[in-house]
C-alpha cells in the first residue's frame, strides 16, 4: 500500500478525543493502529503534530492523517495448494492441514499458511502487519481445521473485533486419553507462560495468567478414550490442550502437554477446528463454516470403534 494523506474537518458541537474522532473517519484502521500513528507523529491538528491519543479537538480543527506505505517484506509468496472453504473480497476461510504453520517464525521461514495465502491473494501484503499479513487468529501447527485470513484492513479490524468481543462460536473436535470427570462441563483456569519452560504455556494460579474458559461435551466413549466437542470461549495460546490436561484427559497424541508417547497410532495430536460461526463484514446474519475431520483422524476413530 502506498502512502496516503487524509484530511478531516471536525464539526462537532462539543469537544472530542482525537482518537475517538479518527475511528469514525478511518473505520478501516483499528483504534490501536490509529493510536500508533498518533504516537509516531503521523497525525497533525491544525498543522501541529499531535502526541496524545486523548488530545481534545474543537469545532473547526483540521486533522491530517499520514498513513505510511507498507514496509518491504521478506515474505516470498509460495504456490502451495490451499483448501479454501469460502472466499470473498474481504477474507478467506481456509481448512488448514495439520503440519502447516500459520505464519513465519523461528524454524519456519517458508511453507507457512501466510506464504501460500500471499500467492493466492497478493493484496494481503501488509494487512494487519508485515510479518503476519491477514492473520486474524491462529491454530497450532498440528491442529487442523478452519482459520480466517483478512484481505484488507477494514475486514481485519472487523474480524479481530468479533474474536475480541467473543461474538464468534468456535467448535473443536478432540479425542482425549481417558474420560473427563463429567460428560459435559465448563473449565475456568487461567493460562500463562510456563514458569520453567518458557516456550510452553501452562495453567497458572489466579492472578498470574489470563482468564481462559472452555466448555465441552462428550460425543462418543471408547474403551480408553473419549471424543469431545470443545468450545473455547476465550482464545489463549494452547488453551484447549491445557484445559483438557487440567481435568485429567489430555488430547490424544499431544506429546507436549499429554503423554510422552502417543496412546494411539497417530503422528499429530487429535484436535480439529471443525466449525466457526461468525458475522462477516457488511452482513446482518452470521455464517457457519464447517470442515470435516481429516481422513487420518476418521481412521483413528474407526479403529477405536472396533475394540470397544
Active-site residue numbers?
A: 140
* Residue among 270, 234, 247 nearest 185 (CA): 247
Element (H, E) at 34: helix 31-39
DSSP conformation letters of 252-307: TT-TTTS-SS-SSS-SS--EEEEEEEEPPTT-SS-EEEE-PPPHHHHHHHHHHHT-
Give residues with Cβ within 8 angstroms of 174, minimum separation 6. Answer: 216, 227, 228, 230, 240, 244, 251, 270, 271, 272
Place of cell 473480497: 89
Would you give the DSSP letter of residue 240? Answer: H
How many CB atoms sit inside 10 A of residue 112's CB? 22
Please state the length of the chain.
308
Amino acid at each position: 500500500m502506498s502512502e496516503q494523506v487524509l484530511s478531516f474537518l471536525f464539526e462537532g458541537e462539543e469537544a472530542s478525543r482525537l482518537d475517538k474522532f479518527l475511528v469514525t473517519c478511518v473505520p478501516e484502521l483499528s483504534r490501536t493502529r490509529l493510536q500508533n500513528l498518533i504516537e509516531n507523529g503521523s497525525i497533525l491538528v491544525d498543522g501541529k503534530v499531535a502526541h496524545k491519543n486523548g488530545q481534545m479537538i474543537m469545532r473547526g480543527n483540521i486533522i491530517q492523517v499520514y498513513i505510511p506505505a507498507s514496509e518491504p517484506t521478506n515474505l516470498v509468496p509460495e504456490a502451495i495448494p490451499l483448501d479454501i472453504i469460502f472466499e470473498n473480497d474481504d477474507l478467506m476461510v481456509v481448512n488448514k492441514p495439520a503440519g502447516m504453520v500459520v505464519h513465519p517464525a523461528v524454524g519456519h521461514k517458508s511453507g507457512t499458511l501466510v506464504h501460500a495465502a500471499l500467492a493466492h491473494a497478493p493484496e494481503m501484503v501488509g494487512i494487519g502487519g508485515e510479518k503476519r499479513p491477514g492473520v486474524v487468529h491462529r491454530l497450532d501447527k498440528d491442529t487442523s481445521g478452519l482459520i480466517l485470513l483478512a484481505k484488507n484492513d477494514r475486514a481485519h479490524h472487523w474480524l479481530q473485533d468479533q474474536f475480541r468481543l467473543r461474538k464468534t462460536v468456535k467448535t473443536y473436535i478432540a479425542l482425549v486419553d481417558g474420560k473427563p470427570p463429567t460428560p459435559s462441563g465448563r473449565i475456568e483456569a487461567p493460562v500463562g507462560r510456563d514458569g520453567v519452560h518458557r516456550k510452553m504455556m501452562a495453567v497458572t494460579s489466579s492472578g498470574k495468567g489470563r482468564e481462559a474458559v472452555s466448555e465441552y461435551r462428550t460425543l462418543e466413549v471408547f474403551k480408553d478414550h473419549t471424543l469431545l466437542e470443545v468450545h473455547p470461549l476465550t482464545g489463549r495460546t494452547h488453551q484447549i490442550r491445557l484445559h483438557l490436561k487440567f481435568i485429567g484427559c489430555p488430547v490424544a497424541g499431544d506429546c507436549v502437554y499429554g503423554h510422552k508417547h502417543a496412546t494411539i497410532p497417530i503422528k499429530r495430536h487429535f484436535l480439529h477446528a471443525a466449525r466457526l460461526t461468525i458475522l462477516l463484514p457488511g452482513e446482518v446474519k452470521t455464517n457457519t463454516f464447517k470442515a470435516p475431520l481429516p481422513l487420518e483422524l476418521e481412521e483413528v476413530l474407526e479403529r477405536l470403534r472396533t475394540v470397544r
